[in-house]
Structure 1
Amino acid sequence: MKASEQRRVTVKDVAEAAGVGVATVSRVLTGTGSASAATRERVLAAAARLDYRPSALGRNLRRRHTGGIGLLVPDITDTFYARLADGVLACAKSAGEPVILGTTGDDPEREAELIGSLLEESVERVIAVPCGDGEMWGPAFRAGLGVVFAEREVPGRNLPSVRADDRAGVRTAVEYLAGLGHRRIALLARHGQEQRVRAFREALAELGVPVDEELIVLARGTRDSAYAAAAGLLQRRPDVTAVLAGGNMLGEATVLAARELVIRIPRDVSLVMFDDVPWAELCSPPLTVISQPAHDIGYRAAELVLRERGRPRTVTLPTELIVRASCGPRR
């Protein structure tokens, strides 16, 4: 095979050869960030052995950018993130900007790998639903990329972001359930939804309802994990009278687990779910939801990342509680 036809060596190849993470390779090759002398030596030796040519990690600061927007979301099959992506694409199309889409699976290492790939493609701007910490995003910041976070933020990074009003959404749902007489209310949330967890604790405290930490259950961003979390909660705590699901995947898992365990909604357990997805209204019974403007979040994030100056630091969009038949008074 001719050299020109060979696959280009990437930062992931260097990371595997050196036995370190992609973020560590990025720090070493950009010459910034912390890394031990031994680690630096292993990374540089691996890069030399593989004949790695850093198209962006080293040269992106010096050469002309090619433009475009990188979009990183946890799962494009999740209806919420699909609608968010659609909003980004709609705004990018009107601006004549291409979009490169990547899915992280809520895995920080996968996120770091995709950040490195976007740098290699000389992308100028990134919109992301982040799952890694500020250090993971260091190479992008140092390369001068415009970054806007959507739905979530990275602690310690004061960057532009667009998100729904989680606090108001959670508070409204908890107040509604408490008004129906519920006191043993559980929260199912995904890792990365710390704001919703904090809002849940605050809402209970404001209502004078004791916070039972066993009723706050976190799941990874997969359907299997969501189902395990929902089924485990309902089996372990039969005294729960209401569940707030932090996303449509968790709401779906709660409905499925309840059916398997012959738990009736809302007679035995009331259910409120984040995201007004199409199947929520078709479910039996139709689900009460906290509607989030997913498309608008994506569109506004794209507007922010395309605007060079005068960008507000944070845009917060309203949520709405849509009451259907999945909630009833405590029996």
Structure 2
Amino acid sequence: MEAKRATIKDVAEAAGVGVATVSRVLSGGSASPATRERVLAVAAQLDYRPSALGRNLRQRRTGGIGLLVPDLTDTFFGQLAEGVLACARSAGEPVVLGSTGDDPEQEAELVGMLLEQSVDRVIAVPSGGADTWGPAARAGMTVVFADRLPAERPGDAPSGPMPGSMSGSASGSTADLMLLDGVPPPPPSPPVLPTGVPAVLADDRAGIRTAVRYLRGLGHRRIAFLGGPGHDRRVAAFREAIGPAVDEDLVVFATGSRDSAYAAASGLFQSRPDLTAVLAGGNVLGEAAVLAARELDLRVPRDVSLVMYDDVPWAELCSPPLTVIAQPGRDIGYRACELVLRASGRRPRTVVLPTELIVRGSCGPLR
């Protein structure tokens, strides 16, 4: 009987490190000299061949697409996954779905497992940075990012230029708004990752700026922003829209969990009773803002106006219905799948899809 071939998990257990660390070492990524030496020694002892991570991927394709998202219960990521599945189904490709929990280490482990299974095409809403995705690309993976760019953590500076339109420059309406506000429009260049990995993104800049301008038109000046993982482009757009007078105490971040989102929203309302409007950076944060306002007997929109990034089914069912910045989640997934299927032999490109402000009943004039 043929002996069982050692796997990346076997190497990780024997070396006393995580699968992600083994993946980085064998793919030429970052690791301490001691860790690298230990992993390579164990791999040699177990007769684990790094070619399973690299050369095999370049020589053969087993089919299938990996899809990594932070949270399968988040409505937006569900919409994105539906788009990926629809496109993959039409191409006859199976999809391997994984949830990262917005944890870079867990994401790196899932990438390592996909490499082990010779899944060489991946669509990801990234949580990690270059130490995850650089080695994956060097190992032969075709990667397309969706919704956000890698290593975008709350409070960090954006990792690339912010999108302005389908072609990467500011759209006509957005440029007009920026000029009216005294802010020069961005240069007409698409958002490009340092690694050259393509991405499909929503036009966060136009969406956020339009929402802020709408709130200002209603008389609001003390506008707060609730952000979470991957929202650095959105908060950068918010700061830009507010201008130099932005009150940093009104810019609050939560982790990816619903409990953290609720705590952030509740803490914001209680610490700053003078705020008059809130822009929630995602649907989980919008839900938290609605619940926190209800618990604190704040009336929407009489006491506080609310705009939410993401249009989800329950937004129209709220009382009053929520004003939202709608982004095309399903289209983002579908276009990302098209890119990953057609990437071979083509120059990588980034696609930016438009957003839309949908006005409902959760915003009112300042009283």
Residue 221 to residue 55, structure 1, CA distance change in 2 (3 Å): farther
Describe the superposition over 1:253-295 as per-residue Cα deviations: whole angstroms up to 9, x where unpaired: 0001111111111111100001110100001110000011000
User: Aligned-pair distance for 1:119?
Assistant: 0.4
Note if 1:88 corresponds to 2:84.
Answer: yes
Residue 92 to residue 285, structure 1, CA distance change in 2 (3 Å): same
Matched ranges for 1:279-294 at <5 A: 279-294=314-329
Q: How far apart in 2 are the matches of 1:176 and 1:153?
A: 27
Preserved CA contact (<8 Å) 1:304 1:311: no
User: Aligned-pair distance for 1:48?
Assistant: 5.8
Q: Which amino acid aligns with 1:26?
A: S
- 1:105 aligned counterpart, secondary structure: coil
Which of the residues 159, 172, 175 maps onto 2:197? 159
Matched ranges for 1:53-64 at <5 A: 56-57=52-53, 59-61=55-57, 63-64=59-60
User: Aligned-pair distance for 1:139?
Assistant: 2.3
> Which structure 1 residue ranges, 5 or more long, are not aligned?
none
Note if 1:43 corresponds to 2:81.
Answer: no
Residue 326 to residue 17, structure 1, CA distance change in 2 (3 Å): farther
Matched ranges for 1:55-204 at <5 A: 56-57=52-53, 59-61=55-57, 63-154=59-150, 155=159, 156-204=194-242
- 1:256 aligned counterpart, secondary structure: helix
Tell me what 1:217 maps to.
252
Q: Which amino acid aligns with 2:238?
A: F
- Structure 1's consecutive aligned runs of 4 or more residues displaced over 4 angstroms after TM superposition are 45-55
Preserved CA contact (<8 Å) 1:12 1:113: no
Matched ranges for 1:15-54 at <5 A: 15=12, 17-30=14-27, 32-47=28-43
Q: Which amino acid aligns with 1:170?
A: I
Q: Which amino acid aligns with 1:167?
A: R
Structure 2-normalised TM-score? 0.82
Residue 239 to residue 17, structure 1, CA distance change in 2 (3 Å): farther
Q: Which amino acid aligns with 1:291?
A: A
Tell me what 1:330 maps to.
366
Q: How far apart in 2 are the matches of 1:89 and 1:72?
A: 13
Note if 1:247 corresponds to 2:244.
Answer: no
Residue 203 to residue 41, structure 1, CA distance change in 2 (3 Å): same
Structure 1-normalised TM-score? 0.91
Identity %: 74
> Which structure 2 residue ranges, 5 or more long, are not aligned?
151-158, 160-193
Give the root-mean-square deviation of aligned CA atoms: 2.2
- 2:56 aligned counterpart, secondary structure: coil
